[in-house]
Amino acid sequence: MTKGNPEVTWPGSVIGVDVGGSKILARFVDPDTGAARGRVKKNTPTDGPLSVIDCIVNTVEGLAGWQEAAAIGVGVPGPVTPDGTAGPCPNIVGWDEPVQLAAALADRFDKPVVVSNDVNCGAIAEHRIGSGRGHADMLAIFVGTGVGGGLILDNKLVVGERGMVGEIGHLTVDPGGRPCGCGGFGHLETYAGRAGIDNEMRRRTKGDANRYLLSLVGDSQLKSRHIAAGLEAGDELSAQLIDEAADALARVIGNAATLLDLPLVVLGGGIVDRLGEPFLDQIRTSDHFGGAGADFTELVLARRLDDAGAVGAAFLVVDPI
């Protein structure tokens, strides 16, 4: 036992780790309630997965009393197969190949380690203690630079053999439409993700600094607050881009709800958090929200839980996939 710090005497706690493109965060988490204590954060290395593994170890070992954790859960920004093989992680420079992350970390910590995709960690956190609480079946959609999803059926996260279930950002909403970072065309995230909206805004404004939205963004990256300011000012292009984002989300949600008989879709991140209920209304009332889900599926905002990635990773330790 270490000296008198209540964090380290927390019974039955596990450690949740959120590995992001820029930071690695570790916290003690009570796996029953999701309450988190202690916090260590380090910069994510950019010279490949072996350095990331070292950094995860250092981050966890920075939590006083880490040895007393029963197990460790880790969320990473890439596909994770059920055996804990993770990657490639395009947001982490140098992590271009899958690595056996769970096995490597279990070896280093001499403890059970469960590795999951970070979006799935966010989805499970919403399911256990957020807006999805009490629902056996739900889809979580997080809109950020791209668009990710996590599917929970019968209270279990569904991952798939390759760990690719929930890759909703790359569903086609418009064949031959906007070019996607994955090499495809017309995928959801090119309409609803920040990067896709930014690209389209630049294409339509053609560098004309008199266009309101471009004048707000300039040479920096488009942010949700720029779009929100554009809407507030009555800017036509901002309204068009948001209409198209809502229609694209409506199309995908309608199809997913029809396929899976989904009672609940939880939406969060980026423009969803910024625009809130009015944006959800726009999705609900879009002509593109068709199929059997339109009258049945409820759309709700995510709870925006603190450190959802780390908390969700901890939940997945006690209730692995």
Binding site for Zn ion (CB under 5 A): 170, 180, 182, 184, 187
Question: From CA 136, how far away is CA 142, in angstroms rounded?
Answer: 19
Residue 143: CB minimum distance to Zn ion, A? 14
Residue 309: CB minimum distance to Zn ion, A? 22
Tokens of 157: 């996260």
Nearer to Zn ion, 167 or 247 (CB): 167
Residue 183: CB minimum distance to Zn ion, A? 7
Nearest to 36 by CA among 301, 316, 312, 319: 312
Nearer to Zn ion, 148 or 312 (CB): 148
Residue 90: CB minimum distance to Zn ion, A? 12
Residue type, 124: I
Using CB positions, name the residue nearest to Zn ion: 180
Question: From CA 295, how far away is CA 234, in angstroms rounded?
Answer: 31
Helices (H), ranges, 138-187: none
If phi > 0 it is left, if psi is from -120 to 50 it is alpha, else beta; for residue 206 that is left
Nearer to Zn ion, 53 or 248 (CB): 248
Nearer to Zn ion, 111 or 187 (CB): 187
Residue 203: CB minimum distance to Zn ion, A? 17
Nearer to Zn ion, 185 or 212 (CB): 185
Nearer to Zn ion, 111 or 178 (CB): 178
By the 8 A CB rule, do 150 and 157 touch?
Answer: yes
Residue type, 299: L
Residue 145: CB minimum distance to Zn ion, A? 13
Nearer to Zn ion, 140 or 168 (CB): 168
| Residue 133 burial class via C-beta count within 10 angstroms: exposed 0-12, middle 13-18, buried 19 and up | exposed
Residue 227: CB minimum distance to Zn ion, A? 21
Q: Which residues contact 138 (CB under 8 A, 6 or more apart)?
A: 123, 126, 127, 132, 151, 152, 262, 263, 264, 265, 266
By the 8 A CB rule, do 14 and 314 touch?
Answer: yes
